[in-house]
Amino acid sequence: MDVSELLDGLNDKQRDAVAAPLQNMLVLAGAGSGKTRVLVHRIAWLMQVEQASAYSIFAVTFTNKAAKEMRTRVEEALKAPVGGMWIGTFHGLSHRILRAHHREANLPEAFQILDSDDQLRMIKRLLKAMNIDDKKWPAKQFGWYISAKKDEGLRPKDIQAYDINEQMMLKVYTAYQEACDRAGLVDFAEILLRSFEVLKNNPTLLRHYQQRFAHMLVDEFQDTNTIQYAWLKLLAGDTNSIMIVGDDDQSIYGWRGAKIENIKRFLTDFEAETIRLEQNYRSTATILKASNALIQNNSDRMGKSLWTDGNDGEPISVYAAFNELDEARFVSSKLRSWLNAGNALQDAAILYRSNAQSRVLEEAMLQEGLKYRIYGGMRFFERQEIKDALAYLRLVGNRQDDAAFERVINTPARGIGDKTLSHIRDCARSESLPLWYAAKAIVEQQHLSGRAASVVTKFVELVEHIEDKIGDLTLEEQAKYAIQTSGLMAMYQAEKGEKGRARVENLEELISACGQYELPEDEEFSSPLQGFLAYTSLESGDGQAEEHEDAVQMMTLHSAKGLEFPLVFMVGVEEGMFPSQQSNEESGRLEEERRLCYVGMTRAMEKLYISHAESRRLYGQEKYHSPSRFLREMPEDCIEEIRIKTQVSRPPAAGRFSSSVSHAAFEESGFNLGQHVLHAKFGMGTVINYEGSGAQSRVQVNFDDSGSKWLVTVYARLQAI
DNA sequence: GTAGCGTCCGTTTTT
DNA sequence: CGGACGCTAC
């Protein structure tokens, strides 16, 4: 193939990265600078120019979506499917190593993955058994502690507990790990840590992988945590070349262990060269100028400034809303015009700092008759009914799986109550047996009443029966059989209401998902079922079924990373909301908030609206937030303030008048904003209550005849704040 | 088991 | 304010 084809259409910097010699490299890739393109072309370059075999390529991402996109695009570039190449997520690839070497990892062949929900249940169970008051010691905190320690690569033996609090954490960590090991279960952090340890403790294995993966590539490197860094370093050894792509300005996951300093550490540890991708192909010059100015307020940056050879575009519009309802209405009315102008709703996104903010916006969309799609929330494979069904299948494959056992022992209800269950748990603990075997033992030893013994026996027989029957069935038939025979289907069919109907539908969808599942060819699974179970845990599935309806995209700023939209609204850009209250209190968190703002702004291609509300109902209380400091950090000439001119007139008899009023309109009404005006008559039966003066004026309008309270905001110039 | 009530708490999320 | 969770009374 002609090499030029790989470099055509790339800018100089992109070419430098794609055609770089075999050495360690950092590609500092700004938002919208074509980093995926570079990664994909680099892989093609390695194969076609450096004659690298597909087997020698190892590419890691954080999300399944990114991994999938990379694979498809590599195949497009090479015009052939690529077998043998390892492209996947940190967890996916680590899991693959664990599967291949489960013996060395001290795991049963059919070991299963605990998601965070399973993990929490497991901890709760342990707390009960250990007589720890979960009021005083919330299970969540243990979960957080355990994951954080594992992310740091720390086992209980590596930790010194100096205070009572940490001693308790450590005690539960130890017990939790023992329980997981006994049951053949690994949580997400364990997948990474265990895979790291397997490689580290088996030099032969390590050498094998090091020799194989001569070319390593890592995406979104700024999000790597300690264990991921160590894992990469171990695999890279002294000889392999590794190209990392990342953007320190887009590091927004520090709170869950990501170490932004890993980028700088990489430069020294790996003696790497740096290439900067600063040309942006996404946003207007105005948006970039404002984003650059904002992010310059952070310290310790690697340094990078985005530019475009495109147009300035429109200024960023800043809307000071009266309250959160007004803000939502503003957004919905702008979206209505956008739609009426012949645009697609799906090209627009509303970004907010926290999920709770979506509700008001949702209501406004509903009112305006605009379709919307909210990202986040419960994923398909995380749903209760799905997890119930999967638990049966897990237990069939691995009787040690205590988490699965606990989940289905009395689901559907079969009369196995707390008492029987605690007998089983006691026996399991004293004999160090998995719950399944404890249950069997307890029946044999006749420690149970006749009725309890018979229901437990029934359960044991049920699981064994399912195992007997499904051996020769297809995956789809296996799932169907387990869901039917277990009584889950009947149980959810009996559940009344919309909820029950949805659950039945989901179970049916699970069966059909089993039918559609294709066992990956080049990955070794002991059975299709095991492949499917891993798939459900590692790829929890989309929130909803892919809606092809034209709808506005609503999501948190975090979930917007990596996406782009012609039209973007950033709402709630207020002190206390964004930056969030706690980021202001905890040291070092402010810069991450600023990066989050930077991420949000750089999602916008053509037009960006930023709004903040002067008053907002929060936790049942009215809060008055000032505009976010981030707004002040954007250059004035990039910003246009919007005020909607509204004649102040007598409002309808009921409801809330929450429109805004311009200085002009207010002055026309005979009021001078330069002075305090208290309790003045305004229109028919209106009382004005004017608080404050100058920059942050607030005006309340009370209608004494209806008794309802009206608020009118008087806007001050933003620069004055 | 579960409806109903009271209490508590309140970023961000992927795997 | 409202959702999640746990406890109590059937």
When pLDDT is cut at 50, 70 and 90, the band that residue A466 belongs to is: very high
CA–CA gap between residue A285 and residue A308 (Å, rounded): 6
> CB burial class (10 A; 0-12, 13-18, 19+) of residue A19?
middle
Q: Is the pLDDT of residue A464 over 90?
A: yes
Long-range contacts of A362-367 (CB under 8 A, 24+ apart): A362/A554, A363/A328, A364/A325, A364/A328, A364/A329, A364/A331, A364/A332, A365/A332, A365/A335, A365/A552, A367/A332
The active-site residue out of A250, A530, A553, A686 is A250
Per-chain mean pLDDT for chain A: 86
Give the closest nucleotide to A581 (alpha carbon vs C1').
Answer: B11
**Å from A135 (CA) to B9 (C1')?**
13
Model pLDDT, residue A204: 96
Q: Is the pLDDT of residue A648 over 80?
A: no
**Å from A675 (CA) to B13 (C1')?**
49
Model confidence over A234-284: pLDDT tens digits? Answer: 999 999 999 999 999 999 999 999 999 999 999 999 999 999 999 999 999
Q: Is the pLDDT of residue A13 over 60?
A: yes
Q: Is the pLDDT of residue A708 over 60?
A: no
CA–CA gap between residue A334 and residue A329 (Å, rounded): 8
Q: 3-state DSSP helix/strand/coil percent for chain A, to nearest 5?
A: 50, 15, 35
The active-site residue out of A13, A14, A15, A35 is A35
Model confidence over A525-536: pLDDT tens digits? Answer: 889 999 999 999
Model pLDDT, residue A132: 87
Model confidence over A663-699: pLDDT tens digits? Answer: 334 444 433 333 222 223 333 333 333 333 333 344 4
Give the closest nucleotide to A357 (alpha carbon vs C1').
Answer: B11
Q: Position of tokens 């001078």?
A: A672
Model pLDDT, residue A543: 52
- Kindly report the bases of strand B lying within 7 A of a protein C-beta atom: 1-2, 10-15
- Whether A585 is a known active-site residue: answer no
The active-site residue out of A36, A141, A279, A700 is A36
CA–CA gap between residue A330 and residue A659 (Å, rounded): 10
The active-site residue out of A118, A187, A220, A382 is A220
Please state whether strand C lies within 7 Å of residue A620 at its CB atom.
yes
- Whether A602 is a known active-site residue: answer no
8 Å CB contact between A259 and A220: no
Where is A671: in which H helix or E strand? none
Residues with CB under 7 A from strand B: A 62-65, 89, 91-92, 115-116, 188-189, 252, 255-256, 353-356, 376, 410, 413, 415, 417, 538-540, 555-556, 558-559, 580, 582-583, 586, 589, 593, 619-620
Please state whether strand C lies within 7 Å of residue A140 at its CB atom.
no
Model pLDDT, residue A694: 36
Query: In this predicted model, which residue has the larger pLDDT, A322 or A223?
Result: A223
Q: What is the DSSP string of A118-149?
A: HHHHHHHHHHHHTT--TTTS-HHHHHHHHHHH
- What percentage of chain A reaches a pLDDT higher than 70? 88
Give the closest nucleotide to A538 (alpha carbon vs C1').
Answer: B15
**Å from A252 (CA) to B13 (C1')?**
11
When pLDDT is cut at 50, 70 and 90, the band that residue A418 belongs to is: confident
Q: What is the mean pLDDT of residues A372-383?
A: 89
- Whether A696 is a known active-site residue: answer no
Please state whether strand C lies within 7 Å of residue A208 at its CB atom.
no
- Whether A35 is a known active-site residue: answer yes
Q: Is the pLDDT of residue A710 over 80?
A: no
Model confidence over A403-412: pLDDT tens digits? Answer: 999 999 988 8
What residue spans of A553-709 are helical by DSSP H? 557-560, 581-585, 590-601, 629-632, 663-668
Q: Which residues of A are annotated as a binding site for ATP?
A: 29-36
Query: In this predicted model, which residue has the larger pLDDT, A413 or A597?
Result: A597
Please state whether strand C lies within 7 Å of residue A418 at its CB atom.
no
Residue nearest to nucleotide C5 (CA to C1'): A135
Q: Which residues of A are annotated as a binding site?
A: 29-36
**Å from A666 (CA) to B15 (C1')?**
55
> CB burial class (10 A; 0-12, 13-18, 19+) of residue A341?
exposed
Q: What is the DSSP string of A312-327?
A: --SPEEEEEEEEHHHH
When pLDDT is cut at 50, 70 and 90, the band that residue A97 belongs to is: very high
Model confidence over A174-227: pLDDT tens digits? Answer: 999 999 999 999 999 999 999 999 999 999 999 999 999 999 999 999 999 999
Q: Is the pLDDT of residue A289 over 90?
A: yes
Model pLDDT, residue A272: 95
8 Å CB contact between A311 and A337: no
Please state whether strand C lies within 7 Å of residue A617 at its CB atom.
yes
When pLDDT is cut at 50, 70 and 90, the band that residue A552 belongs to is: very high
CA–CA gap between residue A192 and residue A187 (Å, rounded): 9
When pLDDT is cut at 50, 70 and 90, the band that residue A700 belongs to is: very low
Phi-psi region of A104 (alpha: psi -120 to 50; beta: other; left: phi over 0): alpha
**Å from A176 (CA) to B6 (C1')?**
32
Where is A380: in which H helix or E strand? none
Q: Is the pLDDT of residue A293 over 80?
A: yes
Rounded to 5 degrees, φ, ψ at A566 are: -55, -40
- Whether A226 is a known active-site residue: answer no
**Å from A413 (CA) to C10 (C1')?**
18
Measured from the Cβ of residue A310, the count of other Cβ atoms closer than 10 Å reads 14
- Whether A420 is a known active-site residue: answer no
Reference A30, options A280, A266, A262, A244; nearest CA is A280
Give SS3 for A46.
Answer: helix
When pLDDT is cut at 50, 70 and 90, the band that residue A588 belongs to is: confident
Query: In this predicted model, which residue has the larger pLDDT, A159 or A523?
Result: A159
Please state whether strand C lies within 7 Å of residue A681 at its CB atom.
no
Q: Is the pLDDT of residue A656 over 80?
A: no
Model pLDDT, residue A452: 81
The active-site residue out of A115, A219, A382, A539 is A219
Model pLDDT, residue A422: 83
Model pLDDT, residue A542: 66
Bridge partners of A623? Answer: A616
